[in-house]
Structure 1
């Protein structure tokens, strides 16, 4: 039964990754019509209302610990999405998605701080490969990182923290409550930031409405609820590996829908990041293989 739940959790996280991959393209296109803070605010206001309706019975029984957990996750989510969205304005979908996927390499190191379990050689090698890939993807001819790439990298850091936080709280807290609270926090915070730093929106058309509804319903409410439920049945590192495939989905969709160009430099950088991402997944398989070859 536990194996079956773990398999369902993995499949669910892969679907979430595909949805998030599509959201890179949708967000990039929508930023031509609306500013980033207002985009996030409307996206998460709608998502909060919807998940609030679904979670009404759970919210009535919410504990202080559930609300605190939701706020902690919400802070990491807010910073991750703000930086990712602004970064996406200054780089391509492919580069942004692959750099953000670097969060999988960061997760074991944050767990090191939380549990005192030192990353092993595979994880250290993965981190080195990851940052080599980011360098190939992001550095220009003068060996400088662009603003879009820098913001994407910092957003990956906060998404790694979010995965660790979800893994820490999901088994002990009501996932419906923490999902609602984290989205409400992002919605309110983004709306406040938008009202302070961005010009007021005077028109609202279908070019804004349709993508925002998609991002709210699928990329926010459904995806994060499924993530929080699924992570109760798998490890944070394992979840991070599966979720990082959003970079593949995002890059492919960027080429198909936005006509982004694939270069040799891009492919080399992506391959390095992919190797770093899967190294933690290959590690247990190698261990199992060694055990199988060892005579009893």
Structure 2
């Protein structure tokens, strides 16, 4: 009986892992589809609006029990964990393929380690340092590989990749703030409430400072593009975070973190299916980044 329960738990954990990898790995192709009609600002803002609105039933009832210091931290989490990265990823993908964006996103766990050591008195181990060094080499390769030649031209840097790395830096701050400054709130509450904190800003920006409403009404294909962004916000931001929190409970944090290595694989598959081209230099960089993250994130 005990073995059957353990087997069932393992099956559930693997199920969550696969579903999350598919959802988060597909986020980058959804951003790409949204950018076919909308600007990066419109994509980022509508993503937050969709995620925040779908979680209103979870966030609004919890407002009355919040303390002042929690509100401040929730605003920071909302900005660092959702709002700012949503805009940065959209901006990056105006000049960066969806597959490579997914690979750069795998750097998030290492940024968590760096920020933890610099600002939250966490310790960087020798293994962390080795992983950082290997992943850094991979990032440099990916930054400098240029399309147009078989092996790539290393004479120029694709500066748009820095938008993704900045988003990973935001995630690094976000996860450390959640770890060290939130003890009373559960992860689902943090996700819902932090999105609620930034929802008004996203709504005001989207409808007062962009052409989103005009495009929805007058531009062909805008409704379909908005549908892709809605999926991105609802599934990729709101539902996926809840699923991740559940997976952490049914499995171990180490097992849950392995989704980081599967996301780039899914992103690359979507990119190749969409006609994106990866040069040999890209593959060297991809392997170095994923291997470095795996080394640096092991326990």
Q: Provide the rounded CA distance (Å) in 1 between the counterparts of 2:293 and 2:255.
A: 10
Instruction: Give per-residue Cα distances to partners, 1:69-116, cap 9 Å, x unaligned.
Output: 321211212222211110011111111111121112222122213443
Structure 1 residues 120 and 186, CA gap change in structure 2 (3 angstroms) = same
**Alignment match, 1:80:** 85
| 2:112–2:171 Cα contact (<8 Å) kept | no
Instruction: Give per-residue Cα distances to partners, 1:236-285, cap 9 Å, x unaligned.
Output: 777555335312211111112x111232111111100110111145x44x
Unaligned residue ranges in structure 2 (runs of 5+): 147-152, 217-221
| 1:91–1:149 Cα contact (<8 Å) kept | yes
| 2:88–2:167 Cα contact (<8 Å) kept | yes
Structure 1 residues 228 and 145, CA gap change in structure 2 (3 angstroms) = farther
Q: Cα RMSD between the aligned structures?
A: 3.1
| 1:129–1:275 Cα contact (<8 Å) kept | yes
Q: Provide the rounded CA distance (Å) in 2 between the counterparts of 1:214 and 1:166.
A: 25
1:20-35 correspondence runs (5 A): 20-35=24-39
Q: Which moved more, 1:43-52 or 1:167-176?
A: 167-176
TM-score, normalised relative to structure 2: 0.80
TM-score, normalised relative to structure 1: 0.81
SS of structure 1 residue aligned to 2:215: coil
Q: Provide the rounded CA distance (Å) in 2 between the counterparts of 1:99 and 1:190.
A: 25
Structure 1 residues 54 and 66, CA gap change in structure 2 (3 angstroms) = same
SS of structure 2 residue aligned to 1:245: helix
Unaligned residue ranges in structure 1 (runs of 5+): 285-296
Q: Provide the rounded CA distance (Å) in 2 between the counterparts of 1:40 and 1:223.
A: 17
SS of structure 1 residue aligned to 2:185: coil
Q: Which moved more, 1:242-251 or 1:164-173?
A: 164-173
Instruction: Give per-residue Cα distances to partners, 1:5-53, cap 9 Å, x unaligned.
Output: 9966676355323211111001111101111222222222232122111
**Alignment match, 1:288:** none
Structure 1 residues 110 and 224, CA gap change in structure 2 (3 angstroms) = same
Structure 1 residues 191 and 50, CA gap change in structure 2 (3 angstroms) = closer
| 1:33–1:207 Cα contact (<8 Å) kept | no
| 1:42–1:212 Cα contact (<8 Å) kept | yes
| 1:94–1:250 Cα contact (<8 Å) kept | yes
Q: Provide the rounded CA distance (Å) in 2 between the counterparts of 1:121 and 1:152.
A: 26
| 2:36–2:225 Cα contact (<8 Å) kept | no
**Alignment match, 2:270:** 253
